[in-house]
Every structure is written in C-alpha cells, then in structure tokens.
Structure 1
C-alpha cells in the first residue's frame, strides 16, 4: 500500500506560456556567453522540476516563482526561495535538493547558490535551510542512491 500523501489535493496553477531562451551547448548555461545570467533564465531552468509527490511541476504548484529568485551575476550569486504547498511538507528537503542539483548541473561553477524555504512557510524552516545549504550534508545526501534516483526522477523532463 502506498503511503498517504501529505497534501493529497494541492492547488494547481496554470504554467506561464513563454518561449524559453536557449544557449548553445548542453542545455546548461554557457560560461563564456556575453549575456548575463538573470532571474528569468534561472526560472526557465528550474520551472519544470517535478514535485516528488505529484505529477505537477514546481511552477504549477507555485512552489517556485520568478519573484522568489535573486541573481547577482557580477558577484556570481543566486538565491532561490521556495514555498512548500503545506507547512509540514515532508518533501521540502527533497524539493530543495532538486533545485540545488539542477542549478549545480546547469550553472557555471563560479556561482554560489543558496536555496531557502520562504520565511514562515514550513514548520522546520531553519532545519531545512541549514540542511540545504551545508555542503557536507548535501554531499552526503547525494551519496544515497535512492535519494539520487528520486532527484533524477524529479529533474527528468516530461513531454506532455
């Protein structure tokens, strides 16, 4: 029997229609591009990450929004703040790990990335933030094959 969902009936929003900008290469960011990396470009890379519990993207569940992304290309800094669908979401760390892994795989290595739960939106916000932004904890999580499989599943594009 499958475990019960934490949020069995999430509110689903319509995805924004807009063409994504592309760069040459492997689908990631081109380190030598003349264009600066901006908020919209980061959003375009993470908007289709699938929720670990539902067949919807993080954009469709409003877990991530363009407004919750800060980028300072000159200082090589990105912060993504996400909002779990419920304050006791057991998948918050997995969602944050998915965001981190996607950006680690996509951004030039010069970038420092912070992943945060939106203030006041999760019961264990401080613990989740600490776990998501501790290099050793992230590295340890990525040594767990089951967790890596779950992250990879969330990052696999769906072709609807």
Structure 2
C-alpha cells in the first residue's frame, strides 16, 4: 500500500501560513529560514485516543441518515434563500460585494485558524487546509421578478493528517459552519476530502454535503460545544 499523502505532516508556524503579502515577504526576506517545526513534534501533540468525539458524531449521522431520502433530494435540488433575504436586499448586497469580491485568500484566512478538535494546532498549521485546494466559481440563476442572481460556489478540499482519521467529518463540519456564518447567503459551500487522502472518502463527502445530516448534527449541544472550541481561535 502506498504511503498516505499527509501521514507525516510538517507543523507550520502561524507566521508561515499564506497571506496576501506572502510574495512580497518572500522577496524581501530571500534566504531566510522557514520556521517549520520538525515532524517529531507531532508525537507530543497527537493524543492516542479519539473515540469519544468520533462516537458522538457517528451517532448523530446515523440518526440523521434515517430521515426520508426524498426530503434530502428536494433540499439539494431547490436550495431556498434564507427567510430574512429579500430580492432588494440581495441586489444591494451583490452590488456591494462586487466592488470587493471574496477570493481564495480570504476564504483561507477564515478557516486556516480553526483549531484541530484534538490538538493545540490550527488546520492551517497541520496543512489540513491549503490555499491551492480552495476554488471559487460564479454562476447566475433565475431569481424572482425576472432578475438573475449571481450564485458563488466555494469548494474546499481538506487533507486529513492520516488516511483513517476518524474526525475528518467533524473537521469538515467546523469549516462549513465557519464559512456559512461569515459568507453572504448567495454563497454555496461544498466541503470534500481531497481525493486519495482518506479511506472513507466518499462516505465523508456525502455526510459533509448532506443538509439534513449537517442540520441534525448542529442541533446537538455537545457537538456545538466542540465546534465552538474549534472556532474560538479564529481571527
């Protein structure tokens, strides 16, 4: 069996994470050494047990998966706008956002500082999220009153530290919650495990992008407490 892609990740310091000024900093500080912690540092921050959160999360998804599949299909085919969003409001928001469009760097900035659910490190430091694995696409869809609404789709591919990571779904949920809280309603978020980096890739992807399962998971107070801890380090 081939070696897992991210099985022995280097731990980046916060100063080494990509920023808008990264290219200028690299040019001005050519020859300087990157402050990357050695791979051996993982031994001191990776605990052995991860069964508790894994059990809670899997239980929630088992409950949610029992819901009527036809309702899931309807939700996917016809995503509704939030109740507080009016046509005029959408138009005004879109005009303001068009002046300063959200790009991949801004998405990365939103999620790179999310804490790993087990370790005192961020997803950016562990290279679970990487700027090249973030893509943004724009498309238009019919809106009421004959107008067309610009829909922006944000796709984030995550790279688990090991191929059998049992908390990959929890990490993906944290990223989804963070983005949906920060982005305007016209943004559609999709989270996927990067191809070839997890042994249950297709199953995790289905869970992360199933609205019914995500909604059921977010109603659990214990899980919300874990997510709040993960998001507490976000800037």
Normalised by the shorter chain, which TM-score bucket? 0.7 to 0.9
User: How big is the alpha-carbon RMSD for the aligned residues of Structure 1 and Structure 2?
Assistant: 1.9
**Is the CA contact 2:9–2:161 (under 8 Å) kept in the aligned structure 1?**
yes
1:155 aligns with 2:231: yes
1:79 aligns with 2:155: yes
Q: Cα 1:17–1:69, aligned 2, differ >3 Å: closer, same or farther?
A: closer
Tell me the distance in 2 between the aligned counterparts of 1:73 and 1:145: 35
Q: How far off its partner does 1:18 sit?
A: 3.8
Q: Which runs of 4+ in 1 moved over 6 A?
A: none
Tell me the distance in 1 between the aligned counterparts of 2:234 and 2:203: 31
Tell me the distance in 2 between the aligned counterparts of 1:119 and 1:63: 13
Higher helix share: 2
* Aligned twin of 2:208: 132
Q: How far off its partner does 1:137 sit?
A: 0.3
**Is the CA contact 2:155–2:190 (under 8 Å) kept in the aligned structure 1?**
yes
Residues 74-101 of structure 1, C-alpha deviations (whole Å, 9 max, x = no match): 5411000000000011110110000000
Q: How far off its partner does 1:158 sit?
A: 6.8
TM-score of the pair, normalised by structure 2? 0.56
1:16 aligns with 2:12: no
**Is the CA contact 1:38–1:71 (under 8 Å) kept in the aligned structure 2?**
yes
TM-score of the pair, normalised by structure 1? 0.81
Q: How far off its partner does 1:11 sit?
A: 3.4
Tell me the distance in 2 between the aligned counterparts of 1:146 and 1:53: 15
Q: Cα 1:18–1:40, aligned 2, differ >3 Å: closer, same or farther?
A: closer
**Is the CA contact 1:38–1:73 (under 8 Å) kept in the aligned structure 2?**
no
Q: Cα 1:98–1:158, aligned 2, differ >3 Å: closer, same or farther?
A: closer
- Give secondary structure in 1 for the equivalent of 2:11: coil
Q: Point out where structure 2 has 5 or more consecutive residues left out of the alignment.
A: 1-7, 22-92, 140-150
Tell me the distance in 1 between the aligned counterparts of 2:196 and 2:166: 16
Tell me the distance in 1 between the aligned counterparts of 2:221 and 2:201: 25
Bigger Rg over Cα? 2
